[in-house]
């Protein structure tokens, strides 16, 4: 059984139809690359999975349940996390606080009101996550804005993984990174796969897609025009689908 299954998903904005009956399956622990030119509908498709955009037609199923009408919060609680290209980090806050941003654990002093953020627990659990992932940062207490692009990307991944997702969607995670930083992000994707977490990797960098993904799905003008096992295709074929030269 697939972890994620989209069937006949359509989405329009006014008179413009962006998704045309998209079918997509992602298995547990599978890493799927989603590629396509700008305007292919990749972001709209991902936001339809996370619930940011309600779909006009079709169904979205996750872990055996129909989640088509669920809001983003409910989908997140079921285990769907998305790391957006802008990372949505708070640069002035430290690494630990960013990992728990918006979902901070709280405690009450002597069991009384009001509750306040449990910074000790945040630091402890953030350090555990950083150590488990092998993420290299000077300290969990320095502002995220002082980190490199690759380090910030790994902090965004750590934040997603802290809440035990079943599926992580990554939007261009390696777009602005140096070669060595790209490798650390790809290693994290492999580690997630080893832990049974599914990943959808959206990327224009086909080298990264071929290195990390077992399957490559090509979206063109809101249609899935190819769904290719990595071992049965090559970069030239994928590019030909992306630009519309295939078939």
The pLDDT tens digits of the residues spanning 98-137 come to: 999 877 777 766 666 667 778 889 999 999 988 888 888 8
Q: What is the pLDDT of residues 175-216, one digit of tens each?
A: 888 888 888 889 999 999 999 999 999 999 999 999 999 999
Residue 243 tokens read as 């630009």
Q: What is the pLDDT of residue 109?
A: 67
Q: Is 173 helix (H, G, I), strand (E, B) or coil?
A: coil
Are 36 and 54 contacting, i.e. CB atoms less than 8 angstroms apart? no
- Transcribe 3-57 into DSSP letters: SEEEEEEEEEETTEEEEEEEEEEE-TT-EEEEE--TTSSHHHHHHHHHTSS--SE
In this predicted structure, what is the pLDDT of residue 58? 98
| Tokens at 204, concatenated | 């224009």
Q: Residue 74 and residue 68: Cα distance in Å, rounded?
A: 11
- Return the SS3 of 69: coil
pTM: 0.91
Q: Where are the domains of the chain?
A: 1-79+166-247, 90-164
The encoded tokens of residue 129 equal: 């996550």
H-state helical runs in the chain? 42-50, 72-78, 95-99, 119-133, 149-162, 179-194, 206-212, 235-243
What number is the average pLDDT over the span 27-33? 97
Alpha-carbon distances, residue 140 vs 9, 93, 127, 135, 160 (angstroms): 41, 10, 7, 11, 16
Amino acid 76: pLDDT: 93
Structure confidence at residue 196 (pLDDT): 95
pLDDT level of residue 163 (50, 70, 90 thresholds): confident
Torsional class of 172: left (φ above 0), alpha (ψ -120 to 50), beta (otherwise): left
What's the CATH code, domain 1-79+166-247?
3.40.50.300
Does 13 have pLDDT greater than 90?
yes
The predicted structure's pLDDT at residue 111: 63
Phi-psi category of residue 208: left, alpha or beta, with phi > 0 → left and psi -120 to 50 → alpha: alpha
Half-sphere exposure at residue 202, Cβ-oriented, CA atoms within 13 angstroms: 21
């Amino acid at each position: 059984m697939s972890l994620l299954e989209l069937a006949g998903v359509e989405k329009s904005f006014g008179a413009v139809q962006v998704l045309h009956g998209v079918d997509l399956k992602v298995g547990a622990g599978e890493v799927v690359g989603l590629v396509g030119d700008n305007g292919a509908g990749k972001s709209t498709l991902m936001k339809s999975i996370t619930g940011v955009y309600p779909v006009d037609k079709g169904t979205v199923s996750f872990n055996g349940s129909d989640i088509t009408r669920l809001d983003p919060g409910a989908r997140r609680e079921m285990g769907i996390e998305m790391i957006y290209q802008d990372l949505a980090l708070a640069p002035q806050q430290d690494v630990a606080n960013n990992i728990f941003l918006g979902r901070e654990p709280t405690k009450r002093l002597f069991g009384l009101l009001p509750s306040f953020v449990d910074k000790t627990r945040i630091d402890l659990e953030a350090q555990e996550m950083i150590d488990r992932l092998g993420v290299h940062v000077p300290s969990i207490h320095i502002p995220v804005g002082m980190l490199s692009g690759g380090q910030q990307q790994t902090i965004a991944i750590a934040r997603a993984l802290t809440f035990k997702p079943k599926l992580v969607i990554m939007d261009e995670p390696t777009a602005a990174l140096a070669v060595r930083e790209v490798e650390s992000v790809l290693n994290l994707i492999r580690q997630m796969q080893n832990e049974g977490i599914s990943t959808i990797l959206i990327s224009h960098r086909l080298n990264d897609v071929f290195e990390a993904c077992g399957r490559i799905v090509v979206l063109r003008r809101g249609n899935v025009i190819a769904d290719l096992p990595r071992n049965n295709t090559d970069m030239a074929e994928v590019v030909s689908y992306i630009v519309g030269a295939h078939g």
